[in-house]
Structure 1
Amino acid sequence: MNNCQECGKPLMGRIDKKFCCDMCRNSFNNRLNSDSHNLMRNINNQLRKNRRILEELCPDDKSKTTKHILLAKGFDFNLITNIRPTLKGSIYHFVYDYGYLELDNDFYLIVKDKRLEK
């Protein structure tokens, strides 16, 4: 006879049963995944914040800003969703539908990807 992987109570029923009840199964899995969930939650929150910052600074299709302004608003340059190289060799870093291109003297060009709109 097996015991519940969460509370240790003896299990009744199917031979491959791992938990005595849904509450034990949920508690076990929540505890097992809590670290990765916190990490993913924090990353997703920062990605949403990055997108909001770019959206705020780019009310039209294109705009320019400085690195100082982006950092002051809490932008994290380490978190992006994709990279798009141009034919000329420049690299746009995207956060969902907003991208930025590093220019000279700590300036950045911000663009909105119209292809993703419906």
Structure 2
Amino acid sequence: MSKPTCLECGESFVGRADKKFCSDYCRNAYNNKINKDSKNLIRNTNNKLRKNWRILEELNPNKKGTVSKNQLDSKGFDFGLITSVYKTKTNDVYYFCYNQGYRILENDKYMLVKKD
């Protein structure tokens, strides 16, 4: 029976027949390489979502309030990034970034809410 060869470094090693890597280091290095592009996209998106959440959290200390679009814009809020949408029975639409949300009002105003 031949020894398995590590997918990362190419070295032979002793281990189970279905083992693919000689060490945790090689396994991590291999997986980091094959997932690099998608991980950057995911990491960047998550960073932007966290920034949106922090902005809403800062502007909404009382769990419900009203702010202007200008206030959100000046902090760098990205309206294109949300985690969910909630539509009420009265057809009001709330956009959420995790547990912090907003509803568009008239005159460039936004109602901020927090889900518990």
Match of 2:21 among 19, 22, 43: 19
**Which residue, 101, 104, 109 being the options, matches 1:102?**
104
Task: Name the SS of the counterpart of 2:66 in structure 1.
Answer: strand
Higher helix share: 1
Please tell me the residue identity of whatever aligns with 1:14: R
Distance 1:85 1:97 in 2: 15
Task: Report the Cα offset of residue 19 of structure 1.
Answer: 1.5
* 1:47 shift after superposition: 1.4
Cα RMSD (Å) of the superposition? 1.7
Write out per-residue CA displacement over residues 9-67 of structure 1, whole angstroms, 9 at most, x where no aligned residue: 23434332212222211110121222222222222221121111111111213221122
Q: Which amino acid aligns with 1:29?
A: N
* Counterpart contact for 1:6–1:25, Cα < 8 Å: yes
TM-score by length of structure 2 reads 0.85
Determine the structure 2 residue equivalent to 1:33.
35
TM-score (norm 1): 0.83
Unaligned runs of 5+ in 1: none
Q: Following superposition, which runs of at least 4 residues in structure 1 exceed 4 angstroms of deviation?
A: none
Q: 1:53 aligns with which of 40, 52, 55?
A: 55
Q: How many residues align?
A: 114
